[in-house]
Structure 1
């Protein structure tokens, strides 16, 4: 096969690939948290179907799911085979679901201003971290 034929075939295959279909997920949240609902709306605005579960025992739920203590925020979502802790941007959730890295999930520890669901007049830079089942973390993105 000539190089040009291969390139044409590759371009055709890539452009014919189906668009990413964002799956549904479940968000566990404290009954008194409003920013969790704002994050769920951000996800829904980006094509996700998020089922919200009120949970008055969030610490136990996070323990059961395997969210490391140092990464915890106000809500935890399970989407596909991954966990998303806190105000993780939808584009990074999509990237993880597409790329399927060998991680347990992504986390935005705390509640940084300017992250999805925490929008307002000020914005602070924050990191999105990966975590695995052993609790090891790496920086996935800077926002």
Structure 2
């Protein structure tokens, strides 16, 4: 890893939180079914939530993201994609506004010299991931 230079940022992309939420909702629904009249319906909903949560945790795993002085490295399931700094033409930001939220999220998109685009699935805004924002904005 010394070929890439000094480590500027290390983290994971966004994905794992949804799996935990679905599993937690499934467990709560399954347990709550014992206290209402329509037990079977809530049990089925709980099992469906738990299955969706397990699917998100097992198959939609988050990527590891490392930003070095000379490269950006994305790792998923032991496969590593390294993008040297020389191959990055510029960085654009994809703006995503969530309904009923005053905060706008931005996702960085790496534009390579051969006009290919690589989306980094790590959001930042005025509240969250400020360290990531500083590193990615000052990268080039």
Larger Rg: 2
> Could you state the TM-score of these two structures normalised by the residue count of structure 1?
0.31
> Could you state the TM-score of these two structures normalised by the residue count of structure 2?
0.31
Q: Quick check: which one's helix share is greater?
A: 2
